[in-house]
């Protein structure tokens, strides 16, 4: 696992900041004002405009320091599109960091401009994995980055309370490719959780399923998703808890919100254990555990073992079904990768003084 030079890591951090600032300016016209609004005992920032009619657009929690900083400096934010394009070019060509394919980048950029991340949506799946090279400052193998879809997740509790919504999702996607069409949900044909274009590229919306598994076959209505519903998934709440802001290396930089890399790694071990045994399921399972092992290695290389250990211990402590899933996920790795991943996890747990029954002793052997 090769890390990139400090110069490029600094450059990436600058691109993240400038891309976030630029997106904030794009979302909000200087003709409006920010207002703090109480909702169920907490304060949230909304952007209010009065022309041509009074409207309010959700921004985010008032206690989020990054949002508060941008609200304060809103008037001074300037768009430097050309400079950011040069940063992206340098990071991809000279530092060897991977960006998405052009089409995926355009899809995510369109969804971001429409407000998916402002409305606390999270980019998940392999497209999110592609951003970890820059976020962690490492080079990731190209085979681990290939994808043919883009997945977005949002909590139902967020979608139902922000009092704001994306424009119609189908319109957003058609602005990228006019062949996109809605795919009726298999169990709820009047709800849409997926969209597909003529090349069979798919965009899907997901939401955590924290109730009975009976809900797994039904689409969840999502008021903030521009007419789209979402597919409930077990373990997704773990993945998208405390996500991170970063940037996708596409065009002038696309600011995104993705799961933390340590949660992504542990989550991939879990979902790998639940894949079906058909050809497609086996291919996805191999990719899951490969990505998990790469991130475990990258987190060690970048001295983030403590973050990994804390998240791993959290998942391990959620009960026997979680432990069994993690153990099965590790067992799906080739023997050398399995041994290396277990050793790294054991070292990480030792760094925070954690001993996990059923894992720590076995990993030490």
Backbone angles phi, psi at 189, to 5 degrees: -60, -15
Buried b (16+ CB within 10 A) or exposed e, 48-57: eeeeeeeeeb
CA distance 167 to 119: 12
Judged by DSSP in three states, 322 sits in helix
Report the run of H or E that residue 291 belongs to, with start and end.
Answer: helix 279-301
What integer pLDDT is reported at residue 202 of this predicted model? 97
Task: For the chain, 365 residues long, give each residue's pLDDT as a single digit of tens.
Answer: 789 999 999 999 999 998 888 777 667 766 788 899 998 889 999 988 887 788 888 999 999 988 888 787 776 665 577 889 999 999 999 999 988 999 999 999 999 999 999 999 999 999 999 999 999 999 988 766 778 899 999 999 999 999 899 999 999 999 999 999 999 999 989 999 999 999 999 999 999 996 666 667 889 999 999 999 999 999 999 999 999 999 999 999 999 999 999 999 999 999 999 998 888 889 999 999 999 999 999 999 999 999 999 999 999 999 999 999 999 999 999 999 999 999 999 999 999 999 998 886 555 55
At 237 the pLDDT is 96
Cα separation, 239 vs 78, in Å, equals 34
Rounded distance between C-alpha atoms, residue 106 and residue 300, angstroms: 32
Burial of residue 295 (number of CB atoms within 10 Å: 0-12, 13-18, 19+): buried
- pLDDT, residue 30, reads 63
Please tell me the predicted confidence (pLDDT) of residue 363.
56
CA distances from 66 to 60, 70, 79, 162, 231 (A): 10, 6, 18, 19, 30
């Amino acid at each position: 696992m090769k890390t990139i030079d400090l110069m490029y890591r600094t450059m990436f951090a600058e691109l993240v900041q400038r891309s976030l600032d630029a997106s904030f300016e794009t979302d909000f016209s200087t003709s409006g004002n920010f207002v703090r609004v109480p909702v169920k005992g907490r304060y949230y920032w909304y952007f209010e405009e009065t022309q041509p009619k009074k409207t309010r657009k959700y921004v985010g929690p008032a206690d989020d320091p990054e949002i508060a900083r941008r609200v304060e400096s809103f008037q001074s934010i300037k768009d430097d599109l050309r400079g950011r394009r040069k940063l992206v070019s340098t990071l991809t060509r000279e530092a060897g960091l991977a960006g998405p394919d052009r089409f995926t980048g355009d899809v995510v950029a369109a969804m971001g401009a429409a407000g998916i991340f402002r409305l606390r949506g999270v980019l998940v799946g392999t497209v999110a994995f592609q951003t970890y090279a820059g976020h962690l400052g490492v080079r990731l193998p190209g085979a681990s980055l290939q994808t043919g879809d883009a997945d977005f997740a949002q909590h139902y509790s967020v979608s139902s309370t922000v009092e704001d919504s994306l424009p119609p999702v189908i319109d957003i996607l058609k602005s990228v490719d006019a062949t996109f069409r809605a795919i009726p949900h298999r169990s709820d044909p009047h709800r849409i959780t997926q969209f597909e274009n003529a090349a069979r590229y798919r965009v899907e919306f997901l939401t955590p399923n924290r109730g009975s598994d009976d809900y797994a076959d039904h689409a969840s209505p999502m008021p903030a998703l521009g007419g789209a519903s979402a597919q409930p998934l077990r373990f997704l709440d773990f993945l998208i808890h405390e996500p991170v802001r970063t940037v996708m290396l596409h065009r002038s930089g696309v600011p995104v919100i993705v799961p933390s890399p340590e949660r992504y790694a542990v989550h991939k071990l879990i979902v790998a254990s639940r894949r079906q045994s058909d050809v497609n399921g086996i291919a996805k399972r191999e990719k899951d555990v490969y990505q998990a092992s790469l991130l475990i290695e990258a987190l060690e290389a970048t001295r983030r073992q403590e973050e990994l250990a804390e998240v791993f211990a959290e998942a391990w402590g959620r009960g026997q079904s979680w432990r069994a899933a993690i153990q099965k996920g590790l067992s799906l790795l080739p023997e050398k990768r399995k041994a290396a991943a277990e050793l790294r996890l054991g070292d990480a747990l030792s760094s925070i003084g954690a001993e996990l029954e059923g894992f720590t002793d076995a990993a030490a052997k």
